Amino acid sequence: MIAALVWRNAFRHKLRTLLTVTGLTVAVLAFGLLSTVVDAWYAGAESASAARLVTRNAISLVFPLPLAYKNKIRAVDGVRDITTSNWFGGVYKEPKNFFPQFAVEAESYLRLYPEYVLDDDERRAFLRDRRGAIVGSRLAATYGFKVGDIVALKGTIFPGPWEFVVRGIYRGGKPNTDVSQMVFHWDYVNETITKRIPRRANQVGVFVVAIDPERAAEVSLAIDKEFKNSAYETLTETEKAFQLGFVSMTEAIVVAIRIVSYLVIAIILAVMANTMAMTVRERTAEYATLKALGFGPGFVAALIFGESLAIAAVGGVLGIAATFPVAQIFGAAMGSLFPVFLVSPETVGLQLLCSLAVGFLAALLPARRAARVNIVEGLRSVG
C-alpha cells in the first residue's frame, strides 16, 4: 500500500517532478563524467605493474642515460629482465595530431608488456622489420591506420623526417590498457641518429626492469647504488610511482575537478530539498487527515522519505544510464589526451550512493515537519 501511495504522490505534480528528475539526471551525469575524468588522469598509474621498475636520470626525465647502463642493471641481483624506452615526440601531419610514440628495444619490450596483445604473424613481422611499428587499436581507429601503411613523422626530440611501416595493431589485454600509442624500434632510431647527430647516439630515456614485486624497494636501492656519484646518477622507482609523478604535476587540476563534482551534487541537493519542502506545504491538510485517521508520525515521515527517494532513484538511474554513451563520446573527442576513458564500477556506485543520499537528506526537514503537523492546525490549512 505505502509503495503505491509513494509512487502516486511522487508523480502527482508531473511538471515539477519532471524538472526535478531532469536536474538530478544532469547532476548525476556530470558527477559521473567528472569522476571518470579523474579516473582517466590516474589510469596510467592504476594500470601499472607491480613487477616493473623504471630507472631514469636522477636529475630529470629530460636527461638521457647511457645505453651502457643496461648490462650493469641486468647484473643487479633481483633483476629478471630489462628493456629500454624512449619518448619520441614526433609530429604526425600537424602539431594537433598528438599521440604517444616510443622507440623501444622491441623484443624485450613486448616480453615485459604482455598486456599489449598482438597476433603472432604481426609480432613476427614487427620484429623482422627495423622500420616496423605497432599501433594501438584506438590509435588505429582514430587515424585510420592499417597494417602496411607508412606513417611519416616529423622529429622534434630526434630531428628530421621519419617513416615507419605499420606491422601490427595491438589490443589491450586488460580494459585499462593504453591502446593509443605507437611503438617502433630503438635500433633503427639510434642507427639513424648516429649518422645525423653522433653525440646523441647510444642514449636512452628510461630502462624498464622486471622484478619480483616483493623485492621492489631492495632492487631499486641496489640499482641506484650502482651509479651513485657517477656522471649519470639514476632514480629507480616502481612503475606506478613513475606514472604518479606525471599526475602530481597537475594535482591542482585534479583537486579542482573533484571539488566541482561534489558541488554539483550539493546544488542538486538544494533543489531537491526545495521540491520536498513545497510538497509538504501543499499537503499539510492531507497529512493532518492521515494522523486523524490513526496513522502515526512515522507513517507520514515514511511517505515523505519514500517520495524523495523514489524521485532521487529515478533521476540517479537515468543519470547513470546516460553516463556510458556520453563518456564514450567525450573520450573519443579527447583523443589521446585520455588514452583510457572508462566508467568504473566505483563511479557507478558513487553515483547511485550520491543520488540516494540526496533523496534522503532532502527529505529530512520536510519529513520532520510533516510528522509534527498538528491535526487541528493542519485541517485548517487550505494548501
Q: How far is CA 375 from CA 51, 185, 288, 293, in A?
A: 70, 83, 5, 10
- 65, 204 Cβ separation under 8 angstroms: yes
pLDDT tens digits, residue range 257-293? 888 888 888 888 888 888 888 877 777 777 677 667 7
What sign results for the dihedral spanned by CA atoms 378, 379, 380, 381?
positive
Residue of 58, 104, 52 whose CA lies nearest to 81: 52
Give the pLDDT confidence score for residue 383 in this predicted structure.
47
Give the pLDDT confidence score for residue 381 in this predicted structure.
57
Predicted model pTM: 0.75
Alpha helices in 11-56 (DSSP H): 14-41, 43-46
What sign results for the dihedral spanned by CA atoms 13, 18, 23, 28?
positive
CA distance 210 to 224: 15
Q: In this structure, what C-alpha cell is assigned to residue 143? A: 587515424
Give the pLDDT confidence score for residue 368 in this predicted structure.
83
Residue of 368, 308, 327, 343 whose CA lies nearest to 24: 308
- 129, 121 Cβ separation under 8 angstroms: no
For the chain of 383 residues, list the mean pLDDT of each consecutive stretch of 10.
69 82 91 87 77 94 93 95 95 89 96 94 95 94 94 92 96 89 96 89 94 94 94 94 77 81 87 81 72 75 84 91 90 73 89 90 83 67 51
Half-sphere exposure of 154 (CA within 13 A, CB side): 8
pLDDT tens digits, residue range 36-69? 888 877 777 677 888 999 999 999 988 999 999 9
CA distance 156 to 329: 31
Cα distance from N-terminal residue to C-terminal residue, the chain: 25
Report which residue type is found at 193: I
CA distance 60 to 284: 69
